[in-house]
Amino acid sequence: MQESFLQFLGENIQIFLSYTGFANATPGHIVMLLVGLLFIFLAIKYEFEPMLLIPIGFGILIGNIPFKDAGLQLGIYEEGSVLNILYQGVKQGWYPPLIFLGIGAMTDFSALISNPKLMLVGAAAQFGIFGAYIIALQMGFDPSQAGAIGIIGGADGPTAIFLSSKLAPNLMGAIAVSAYSYMALVPIIQPPFMRLLTTKKERLIRMKPPRAVSQTEKIVFPIVGLLLTAFLVPSGLPLLGMLFFGNLIKESGVTRRLAETARGPLIDVITILLGITVGASTQATQFLTLNSIKIFGLGALSFVIATCAGVLFVKFFNLFLKEGNKINPLIGNSGVSAVPDAARISQNVGLEYDPSNYLLMHAMGPNVAGVIGSAVAAGILLGFLG
């Protein structure tokens, strides 16, 4: 009797142990857990995009706890599990437009409205997307996968998730993590190329102070902006529509509570859900592949191409501008839509060469134009390849 009870107890403990993470761990899980920890470390120690890297890093930990599939609806890929339900916002692509709503409600387009020619810098930097697209094709990805990878060059996490969920859902985890990682690393990636491609004289260019923008102009901007861009690229409507709607509720002046919710609690909630689920979707079995490594390489390259394209375009544009109207090419990097980090880098690099030359306001122009540009580019890729 006692012996059979002990045997029963032993068997149960053995079954229990077979369900633990220790029994099911693989080297892949360990690697991914280390990646998650690295993200959290970078976010806390160096403050690299902590709002994103902490949820993603912790999500990676959650997604890579090994367990035996016992039909308990635990994993993010198991239909009906809590994580799976939250993941639908990523999979079906409705988190990114909500993030764009918040971005619209917190973005001041004044710098762009006061000097609209800076929009073209935002357009030029989108070459990063298509440069990466060309290289991805040569590396053996099919056109829709290449398009999804290329969008990393837009330096816009929500856009990257939105497009990859439509064009290459199986690569979405790697693309999202790559996009957010490089956005965090913008201060390291961009400055060397900005210095390399500019002369000392160019770095000292002082730009005309931006004029004050009236409220009417600010109200007209999102309306006209939506009509023009969405008529041209209707497939970008979810992103463009929400971006400009968010901006209208900010600028209208009569929907302050809506704007505050959109740029505060709403975007925070969605950022938490998006970060944690994107992180959790990077399960070792799905994520640790040769393709992920290629995507990381292409992601870095796309940021470099975007930075160079923006800086070189400003230099080219300057050939046609009169003295006094010239643009400092150090704001060319801001054409990628990593708002406001890219603009802050323009400011910091500019201050290194002239401590009284403040480029922040000017750099915000191409920076916010980059948000519009990358949403338009995503719409084009979706229209062509979707």
Partner 1 sequence: MINKKIGVLLLLMVLFSMGAQAQLTTSVKLNEVLVVNEDNFVDDYGKHHPWFELYNNSAGTVDLRGCFLTNDKSDPRKYMIPKGDVLTKVPPRQHILFWADNAPTKGTFHVNFTFDPNKDNYLALYDSDGTTLIDEITIPAGQRADVSYGLDIDGIGKWAILDKVTPSTNNVTLDSNEKIENFQKNDSLGIGMTITAMAVVFIGLMILFLVFKQIGNAAIRTSKRNAQRAAGEGIAVSANAGQESGEIFAAIATALYEMSDDNHDIEHTVLTIRKVQRSYSPWSSKLYSLRQTPNKK
Chain contacts with partner 1 (rule: CB under 8 A): 112-114, 116-117, 119-120, 122-124, 126-127, 129-131, 133-134, 137-138, 142-144, 146-147, 206-207, 209-214, 216-217, 220-221, 224-225, 228-229, 232-233, 256-257, 260, 356, 358, 360-362, 369, 372-373, 376-377, 380-381, 384-385
Q: Is 72 helix (H, G, I), strand (E, B) or coil?
A: coil
Q: How far is the CB of 151 from partner 1 (least distance, A)?
A: 11
State in angstroms the smallest separation of the CB of 358 from partner 1.
Answer: 3
Closest to 196 in 3D by CA, of 356, 330, 321: 330
- DSSP code per residue over 268-329: HHHHHHHHHHHHHT--HHHHSSHHHHHHHHHHHHHHHHHHHHHHHHHHHHHTTSPTTS---G
Instruction: Tell the smallest beta-carbon distance from residue 47 to partner 1 (Å).
Output: 9
Least separation in angstroms between CB 160 and partner 1? 16
End-to-end CA distance of the chain: 67
* Residue (119 or 345) nearer to partner 1, CB: 119
Query: What are 378's two structure tokens?
Result: 């995503």
Q: How far is the CB of 123 from partner 1 (least distance, A)?
A: 4
Question: Which is closer to partner 1, CB of 11 or CB of 268?
Answer: 268
| Alpha-carbon torsion angle 28, 30, 34, 39, nearest 10 | 60
Whole-number minimum distance, CB 378 to partner 1, in Å? Answer: 10
Structure tokens at 165: 């969920």
Q: Which of 319, 196, 176, 248 is nearest to 240 (CA)?
A: 248
Nearer to partner 1, 56 or 123 (CB): 123
The CB-of-258 to partner 1 minimum distance in angstroms stands at: 11
Q: Which residue has the tokens 């693989």?
A: 26
Other CB atoms within a 10 A radius of the CB of residue 83 amount to: 19
Between 55 and 147, name the residue whose CB sits nearer to partner 1.
147
Q: How far is the CB of 120 from partner 1 (least distance, A)?
A: 6
Tokens matching residue 203: 């770095």
Looking at this protein, which amino acid is placed at residue 131?
A: G
Nearer to partner 1, 16 or 384 (CB): 384
Q: Which of 150, 192, 173, 131 is nearest to 287 (CA)?
A: 173
Looking at the Cβ atoms of 48 and 221, the one nearer to partner 1 is 221
What letter would DSSP give residue 175? H
User: How many residues are present in the chain?
Assistant: 386
Identity of the residue, 90 or 111, whose beta carbon is nearer to partner 1 in the bound complex: 111
Measured from the CB atom, the residue of 91 and 117 that comes closer to partner 1 is 117
Total Cβ atoms within 10 A of residue 45: 9
